[in-house]
Amino acid sequence: ERLLGTTYITQRFWEVNLTTGEGRDCGRAAPGWGEVTQTWKIGGTVYMAAYIGGELVEYDPAQPARYPENPRVVARPPRGQRPVAAADDGRHIFYACTRPYPELGSVLTRYDTQTGVAVFREDPLPDQQIRGLAYLRERNSLLCGTTMHADCKTGAPASDHCYLARLAADTLHVEESVPAPSGTEEVSIIGPFDESQWLCTFSGVNGITWCAVDPANLHAPLSEEMQALPESGRRIQSAGKPGIFLLRIADRIELWDMLRVCRVEILVEGMDDDFFVGNVFVQDGCYYLVTPWEIIILEELR
């Protein structure tokens, strides 16, 4: 019955009780002066990773909030800056941070929530920033996508290609990598497409295209496998079920079945400056629509 949120360009966080409507500011979440960019709920514990030092903090909601005791820092990736990609297996947290401006590359962190041991892998894909992560339980691996750019494109790239790759979850070493189609500037791992494939997007000079990727048969996507997002969609994200995705199209947020490439329903329409959904996320069978003024919770999911 409790919702936890983090705010933009400040490392404070807040909670609200959804039954009573009472909320409070919980104070500082992490060191530094940036913002929390990645969050996890594992068991009864909350984890947050923050810009500008990439630190991971652990927060016990059952105890009083009082930084630096609670939340407390549990991992500090070397020369990490902005946490930009995240995954977990229910016990281990995986997240990728950019390098400080204007450096290329990234640092990948694996944190064991049971033992408290953190492992770091610096630049697993040289000069590439990892921008997407997904945990592959059947292979105990990580599917990742990259960009050749530095954080906020502050440095000149050393390559004109970015990559799809599979990394070992235990060691964070690269098992296999393949270049993305020419003209791609960022590969994103969106969500499960079916039992064996993941929907990935490829953003660049040709706009945003997508295809289903099989991590066991990783290859550079062929032109005939690539498709444009339906109805010139500007953003796509997983709706929490294989094959079902949320698309932002014009002034609407729509639910799509990408296996059949058809619309299931329109969740929100008529967005404008007074009502604009800036983010949507899925947790525990609910959709959370984040607007500048409120959070709308849709409890009945299809």
For residue 288, which amino acid is it? Y
Between 278 and 149, name the one with better pLDDT.
Answer: 149
For residue 25, what are the CA distances in angstroms to 7, 11, 139, 194? 10, 11, 41, 40
Provide the 8-state DSSP code for 232.
G
Residue 79 β-bridge partners: none
Nearest to 96 by CA among 187, 23, 22: 187
Q: What are phi and psi of 252, to 5 degrees?
A: -130, 155
Instruction: Write out pLDDT tens, residues 22-73.
Output: 999 999 999 988 999 999 999 999 999 999 999 999 999 999 999 999 999 9
Distance CA 106, CA 92 (A): 19
| Mean pLDDT across 145-156 | 97
pLDDT of residue 105: 97
Distance CA 164, CA 295 (A): 34
pLDDT of 205: 85
* Rounded distance between C-alpha atoms, residue 37 and residue 131, angstroms: 13
What type of residue is 272?
D
